[in-house]
């Protein structure tokens, strides 16, 4: 009797030592930043070599359910639908029968939950060799559940840590792209006796796909332009940076007629974007001596010219750049500007901004604002327009990048 008691106590101590040593080995590996693969190898060794489980499979959920570990099983387990077959198990369960042929080949389901969320399911086979007698291995199931929980949570923490590193890298890339994008916009717009030019821009995210520019061609001629690339993010910003550099490079070497310029820009966008993105674009050439404005509107929101009363939309042009390999037509528009004429260029983030009633701000409301406050300087006008846009959207977020480029020629 005493011998059996001593033997029982020794067995219990051995079990406790084994469990303690296993947990120490696992936690030591975790603390030393062992990889998920190394943790899984330790876990598999404990289950198979120390506990004697010969067939088991561990399902783990990341973005979707996947097999993290499979031992003693051949082929693919297509017949187990984790959500359908396993999520009903909230605690350790002996499988007596199952409609799933594959699931019925296992003896025990060991669920692992963390903060009420199912993280993993361990299926064990060859645990119960006699249906009327629970094997010694089954006595370890609670420990197995604890060990599985530790391993799975450690793997999840590593995944989240890697995700945070990726997000931090993306954040840094966005910061660089944002700084790069600021260089796209002219830093010094003129306000003098000949002209008053000002612009205001708010990207929806860190980087956007809007662009405007003012390029002097000597003392008497100027280029003004605005553009919007389809899509957002770093790729859109890079495409727009490339586009802006092309325009600047072309004008640094020589002057081009509008048709040739648009054809060259279209080829450049097609090569860069490979048909995955396109750019709406408005460009105008203004001669201060002749007061002639020559322009092309490539699928962009129609800028307008006004003297405070009469309004003309600048709609002549062609389709957006990068939509087709070759532009099917290009119509060059021309306008004679009277003194004190204002040109307002903008992107769709202005006119397509919605309020709580899902109503667009619209071009008519923009024109009315310009007329009502026509005497204002262009900078003050732009600030007022953005103030009205903020009132219009209320607590809603911007739905798109928003840019206004206002030019008054005296």
Show me where the domains of the chain are located. Answer: 2-163, 184-409
Count the neighbouring beta carbons within 10 Å of the beta carbon of residue 170.
Answer: 13
The mean per-residue pLDDT over the stretch 175-200 comes to 80
- Judged on CB neighbours under 10 Å (0-12, 13-18, 19+), 185 is middle
Q: Is the dihedral of CA 33, 39, 41, 42 positive or negative?
A: positive
CB of 399 within 8 A of CB of 354?
yes
Phi, then psi, of 69 in degrees rounded to 5: -155, 135
Per mean pLDDT, which range of 168-182, 239-253, 327-341 is the poorest?
Answer: 168-182
Q: Which of 268, 243, 265 is nearest to 256 (CA)?
A: 265
- 9 pLDDT higher than 60: no
**Residue 273 host element (H or E):** helix 258-273
Angle, vertex CA 214, rays to CA 212 and CA 217, nearest 5 = 150
More confident residue, 243 or 126: 243
CA angle 322, 323, 328 (to 5 degrees): 105
Question: Which residue would you say has higher pLDDT here, 271 or 133?
Answer: 271
- Find tokens 């029982």 and name the residue: 8
d(CA 282, CA 295): 7
Tell me the chain's radius of gyration from C-alpha atoms.
34
For residue 257, the model assigns a pLDDT of: 83
Residue carrying the six token digits 């495409």:
239
Q: Is residue 131 pLDDT above 60, yes or no?
A: no
Residue with tokens 């089954």: 138
CATH topology of domain 184-409: Phosphatase 2c; domain 1 (3.60.40)
134 pLDDT tier (thresholds 50, 70, 90): very low
Per-residue tokens: 250: 């072309």
H helices present in 130-199, as ranges: 141-182
CB 12 within 8 A of CB 25: no
Please determine, for residue 67, whether its predicted confidence score (pLDDT) is greater than 50: yes
- Residue 331 and residue 3: Cα distance in Å, rounded? 105
How many angstroms separate the CA atoms of 156 and 159, rounded? 5
Contact 72, 105 (CB under 8 A): no
Instruction: State residue 3's pLDDT score.
Output: 43
Superfamily of domain 2-163 in CATH is GAF domain (3.30.450.40)
**What is the per-residue burial (b if ≥16 Cβ within 10 Å, else e) of 318-350?**
bbbbbbeeebeebebbebebeeebbbbbbbbbb
**More confident position, 275 or 325:** 325
DSSP helix/strand/coil, 214? strand
What average pLDDT does this structure show over 272-296?
Answer: 91
pLDDT more than 90, % of the chain: 33
What span, in angstroms and rounded, lies between the C-alpha atoms of 323 and 315?
Answer: 18
Query: What are the φ/ψ torsions at residue 353 (nearest 5 degrees)?
Result: -70, 130
Stronger pLDDT, 84 or 98, i.e. the higher one: 84
Please tell me the distance from the alpha carbon of residue 410 to that of residue 405, in angstroms, as a whole number: 17
pLDDT band at 181 (very low <50, low <70, confident <90, very high): low
How sure is the predictor about 11, in pLDDT bands with cuts at 50, 70 and 90? Answer: very low
Q: Is the pLDDT of residue 53 over 80?
A: yes
159 CB-near residues (< 8 Å, 6+ apart): 36, 62
Whether 17 shows a pLDDT value over 70: the answer reads no
């Amino acid at each position: 009797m005493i011998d059996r008691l001593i033997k029982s106590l020794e067995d219990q101590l051995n079990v406790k030592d084994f469990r303690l040593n296993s947990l120490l080995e696992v936690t030591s590996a975790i603390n030393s930043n062992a990889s998920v693969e190394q943790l899984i190898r330790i876990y598999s060794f404990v289950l198979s070599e120390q506990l004697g489980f010969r067939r088991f499979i561990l399902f783990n959920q990341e973005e979707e359910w996947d097999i993290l570990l499979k031992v003693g099983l051949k082929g693919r387990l297509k017949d187990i639908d984790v959500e359908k077959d396993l999520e009903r198990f909230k605690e350790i369960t002996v499988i007596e029968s199952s409609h799933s042929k594959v699931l019925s080949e296992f003896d025990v389901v060991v669920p692992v939950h963390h903060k009420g969320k199912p993280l993993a399911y361990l299926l064990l086979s060859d645990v119960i060799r006699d249906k009327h007698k629970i094997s010694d291995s089954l006595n370890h199931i609670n420990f197995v559940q604890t060990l599985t929980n530790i391993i799975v949570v450690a793997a999840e923490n590593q995944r989240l840590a890697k995700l945070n590193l990726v997000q931090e890298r993306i954040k840094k890339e966005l910061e660089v792209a944002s700084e790069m994008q600021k260089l796209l916009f002219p830093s010094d717009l003129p306000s003098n006796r000949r002209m008053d030019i000002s612009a205001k821009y708010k990207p929806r995210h860190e980087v956007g796909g809007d662009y405007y520019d003012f390029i002097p061609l000597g003392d008497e001629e100027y280029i003004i332009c605005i553009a919007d690339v389809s899509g957002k993010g770093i790729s859109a910003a890079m495409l727009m940076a490339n586009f802006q550099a092309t325009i600047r490079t072309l004008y640094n070497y020589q002057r081009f007629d509008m048709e040739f310029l648009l054809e060259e820009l279209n080829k450049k966008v097609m090569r860069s974007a490979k048909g995955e993105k396109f750019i709406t674009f408005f460009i105008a050439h203004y001669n201060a001596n002749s007061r002639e404005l020559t322009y092309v509107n490539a699928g962009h929101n129609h800028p307008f010219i006004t003297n405070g009363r009469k309004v003309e939309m600048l709609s002549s042009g062609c389709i957006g750049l990068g939509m087709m390999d070759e532009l099917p037509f290009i119509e060059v528009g021309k306008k004679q500007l009277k003194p004190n004429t204002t040109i307002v260029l903008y992107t769709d983030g202005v006119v397509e901004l919605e309020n709580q009633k899902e109503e667009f701000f619209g071009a008519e409301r923009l024109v009315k604002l310009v007329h009502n406050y026509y005497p204002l300087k262009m900078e003050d006008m732009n600030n007022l327009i953005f103030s009205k846009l903020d009132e219009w959207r209320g607590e809603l977020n911007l739905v798109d990048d928003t840019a206004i480029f206002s030019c008054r020629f005296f």
